[in-house]
Structures are given as structure tokens and as C-alpha cells.
């Protein structure tokens, strides 16, 4: 029973490691997305103003504004793509392997327990049949129970007398 509890604790810890790894990645993703948004807002404001003034003389006001906007959207897209590609790592795979091994061991122990329960069930059914037979005809059961030891003693005494 101790090994069953130990196996269940291992599975529980592996599940906690899996959840922790997923939460770490989710936290990093959310953080990178929020940071990307913050950079986008502040950088967009300052870069747009500077870029617009720099490009306005050569491109005119309309094309200067368009050039600055395209550059802003490109930077934001790159940050979103980078944040979405973050993944867990080898620790998640290891935690899954430990969990799966624990589940396999737990299944094997459950099958062993099921076999033991089946064996006890068979013994109880045999005992029940014996009790039913005894209750139907108690004299036969008593005679068999008494006759076997008496015959054994008789046979032993006869063989000792010959030797």
C-alpha cells in the first residue's frame, strides 16, 4: 500500500511540474505581449513624430506618415511572432515521462489488487458452497470432519504395528 501512495505522489508531483512549466511559458508569453504593446505605444508615439519630421521634407506629409506606420506595424508583428513561438522545454517532457511511468505502475498495481480481490472472492465462494452443503446435511460434514482424523490415526497405528 505504501508503494501505491508513493506512486500517486509521484504522479501528483509530475502533474504539478507540468502545470508549473505551462504557467511559466504562459507568463512569459503574456509578459512579452504586454511589453510589446507597451513598446508599441511609447515607441510609436516618439518614432512616429521623429520619423514623420524626418520624412516630411523628402516624401511629403502623406507618404511620411505612411512610412512611419508601416515600420511600427512591422516591429509589433515581429514581437508578436516571437512571443507566440515561446515553448516549454525539456523539463515538460521529463515531467510527462515521469507522470506516464507512474500511471503505468499504478495500473499494474491496480491489476495486481484486482487479481487478489478475485482470489479472495473465489475463496469466499468456495467457503459459501461448503457452508451451504454443511447446512443442508450437517451429519455428512461432521462425519467427514471426524472420520478423516480417525482413519489417519488408525492407519498410522497399523503401520507402526507392522514395522
Mind listing the pLDDT tens digit for each residue in 32-90?
A: 989 988 887 887 788 778 888 888 888 888 888 888 788 878 888 998 898 888 877 77
Q: Give the model confidence (pLDDT) of 98-109 as tens digits.
A: 888 888 888 888
Q: How deeply is 14 buried, as exposed, middle or buried, from its count of CB atoms within 10 A (0-12, 13-18, 19+)?
A: buried
Residue 25 contacts residue 87 (beta carbons within 8 Å): yes
pLDDT class of 27 with cuts at 50, 70, 90: very high
Q: Please, are residues 72 and 47 in contact by the beta-carbon 8 Å criterion?
A: yes
Cα gap 69→48, rounded to integer Å: 7
Question: What is the pLDDT at residue 87?
Answer: 78
Mean pLDDT of the chain: 82
What is the residue extent of each domain of the chain? Answer: 2-137
* pLDDT surpassing 80 at residue 139: no
Q: How far apart are CA 163 and CA 158, in angstroms?
A: 9
- The answer to whether residue 156 scores a pLDDT higher than 60 is yes
Q: Is 102 exposed, middle or buried (0-12, 13-18, 19+ CB in 10 A)?
A: buried
pLDDT attached to residue 141:
64
User: pLDDT tier at 132 (50, 70, 90 boundaries)?
Assistant: confident
Residue 135 reports pLDDT greater than 70 = no
Amino acid at each position: 500500500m505504501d508503494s501505491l501512495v508513493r506512486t500517486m505522489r509521484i504522479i501528483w508531483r509530475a502533474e504539478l511540474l507540468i502545470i508549473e512549466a505551462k504557467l511559466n511559458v504562459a507568463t512569459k508569453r503574456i509578459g512579452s505581449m504586454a511589453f510589446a504593446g507597451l513598446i508599441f505605444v511609447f515607441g510609436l508615439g516618439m518614432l512616429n513624430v521623429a520619423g514623420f519630421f524626418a520624412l516630411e521634407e523628402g516624401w511629403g506629409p502623406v507618404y511620411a506618415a505612411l512610412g512611419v506606420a508601416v515600420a511600427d506595424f512591422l516591429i509589433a508583428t515581429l514581437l508578436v511572432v516571437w512571443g507566440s513561438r515561446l515553448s516549454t522545454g525539456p523539463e515538460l517532457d521529463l515531467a510527462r515521462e515521469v507522470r506516464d511511468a507512474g500511471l503505468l505502475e499504478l495500473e499494474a498495481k491496480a491489476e495486481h489488487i484486482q487479481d487478489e480481490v478475485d482470489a479472495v472472492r473465489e475463496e469466499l465462494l468456495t467457503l459459501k458452497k461448503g457452508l451451504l452443503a454443511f447446512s443442508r446435511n450437517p451429519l455428512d460434514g461432521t462425519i467427514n470432519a471426524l472420520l478423516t482424523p480417525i482413519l489417519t490415526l488408525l492407519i498410522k497405528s497399523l503401520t507402526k504395528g507392522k514395522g
